[in-house]
Amino acid sequence: VEEIIGGIKMGLSKEVYQALEAIVGPENISDDPAICQAYARGGYGTFVYDKGHYTPACVILPGNTKEVQEVVKVANRYRIPYIPFSTYYLAFCAPARPNVIMMDLKRMNKLISIDEKNMYAVVEPYVTHSQLQKEAFKRGMYHQSLGCGGQASVLANTIYSGLGPLGYRVGFNGTRRLLGVEWVLPDGELLKLGSPSILREYFWGEGPGPDLRGIIRGLLGHCGGLGVITKIAVKLFSWVPPSEAPLEPTGVTPKAALKLPTNRIKWYNVHYSNMKDMIEGMYEISKAEIGAMVHTVPPAWLYIPRTESGTDFWEKWSKDKEKFREEGFYFLRVLLVGFTSEKQLEYEERVLKEIASETGATRIREGRPFDRSWIIGSDSLTVYRIAGAELSPKFVFDSIDDAAKLLKGIAELRDKQVPPFYDIVDAGWIHSNDLGHMAYGEFLLYFDSEDADEAEEFETTCIKHDLKMKSYSACQNPGRHRMLGPKMGNYHLLLEKIKKAFDPNNVSNPPKPVDRV
Ligand SMILES: Cc1cc2nc3c(=O)[nH]c(=O)nc-3n(C[C@H](O)[C@H](O)[C@H](O)COP(=O)(O)OP(=O)(O)OC[C@H]3O[C@@H](n4cnc5c(N)ncnc54)[C@H](O)[C@@H]3O)c2cc1C
């Protein structure tokens, strides 16, 4: 149905709708206003990253690569923008242009194969981290499940971001774990990268010729701005064989957990009296190459899972927060896994205790034998229990020292702006990656949706702070390239050229991956 709203012709013509319907069948397309409205916004960064969004013109659910190609070709023929998305966990899926076709990939949900010998899995866009992790565990393998929750798409998260504490041993998904790729280019042509370009198998991602994976992945990836990725392979790693240490689910959501077999897997909680000693501990653990995850825990995280509601959280937190402000809170969680044997776990426990003692830890004790978060998928949705909205305006990808220094600086800036931001006292969290060669630091800002403008401004403040400190500034906002580009070799101009070359009709989630104008 076409109608004029605010001078803009809204909706698709009958001709376009019928062309799309002919591809997927009437049951897999809709322009019902209620359904379209439901697809208009959601995910991380809502209120900030989807400012000024439009309601889409229709929602289409292609069931395979050929249908994706045909939808993309129709979109190009009529110059209508389309947005491909997987589990819609990010607000970048919200239309920044009117009359958009929302391409929901939820019918493409096959875990196509797991190659046990060569240790990789091939997935379609709607396979989630939890699904893949469960199948990998059955075969004595694992995949790096991410911080945002096991319900996010493996594919979307591998081309966008891909961060989680299991990266301590295996590195980030985005930069390290992408193998063969099947890619519907913005004009509908099909391109395969790596081994699938010449063989049927997906075991290898590089070449032949220039490695184009760099175009589709990254901290932000292309956010659907360079076509649709329809299939990828990701690397799997050795875990404890399930016959030797089964992982049993226990509890009911939101308190569901994995019960850990303590003969092979244990959490350790290590407390310090100051940041310097804790960082020293993190480095020493990495040097000894023990552990499967090493990450700090901000004090508020102890309260979030133990409270029943926002009110309950604020009552308990308000009573205790001054203690954390005065005394600081330096708490390290270490997951030890006897990947090869029970003896490995015993050895790592001894090494960890020695490191704790040598680096001045005030207390070390075994954690409860459960995992409610990182192994199979974290429960990060509870962050929204604290406030109406959350934004991570600051990320660090550098050394552990640098992460601590930069996050502390940002916390001081945040404290000057409480209210409207919520008083969480802490300075975010750090997890060690690639055996301590790199750290990931993230600062979390909690606010109410009506304070979204202030939150966005605060993101600008963080970027300026980074530039002043001469540190690499990373933020999740794909609208910041023109601000950062001039300080970083004008990469934003390159990005604009790539967009023009790949998507000459500017129909693939415009304007991404370049800034909104
Ligand atoms: C509370 C919270 C915490 C988070 N913490 C972490 C974290 O610790 N680590 C981490 O890595 N990430 C984190 N994230 C972000 C996370 O990476 C993404 O939310 C997730 O990976 C995206 O998966 P998705 O399936 O929901 O992608 P979507 O939201 O569906 O898509 C993300 C972007 O990619 C595009 N896209 C999706 N699928 C395709 C495709 N098949 N082809 C082309 N383009 C596509 C979309 O257009 C969109 O712009 C967090 C998010 C939230 C909400």
444-463 pLDDT, tens digit each: 999 999 999 999 999 999 98
pLDDT category, 437, cuts 50, 70, 90?
very high
Ligand 1 atom nearest the C-alpha of 476 is 15
472 pLDDT above the threshold of 90: no
Q: Whose CA is nearest to atom 34 of ligand 1?
A: 223
CB of residue 507 inside a 6 A radius of ligand 1: no
Give how far the C-alpha of residue 8 lies from the chain's centroid of Cα atoms, to the nearest Å.
35
What is the rounded distance in angstroms from the CA atom of residue 425 to the CA atom of residue 253?
28
Q: Which helix (H) or strand (E) holds 38?
A: helix 33-38
CB of residue 127 inside a 6 A radius of ligand 1: no
Share of the chain above pLDDT 90, in %: 70
Ligand 1 atom nearest the C-alpha of 509 is 47
Asked if residues 296 and 238 have their Cβ atoms less than 8 Å apart, the reply is no
CB of residue 160 inside a 6 A radius of ligand 1: yes
- What is the model's pTM? 0.94
pLDDT at residue number 383: 67
pLDDT at residue number 150: 83
Asked, as a colleague might, if the bond just before 246 is cis with ω within 30 of 0, I would say no
What is the rounded distance in angstroms from the CA atom of residue 379 to the CA atom of residue 375?
11
Which runs of consecutive H residues, i.e. helices, occur in 139-201?
Answer: 154-159, 167-170, 173-176
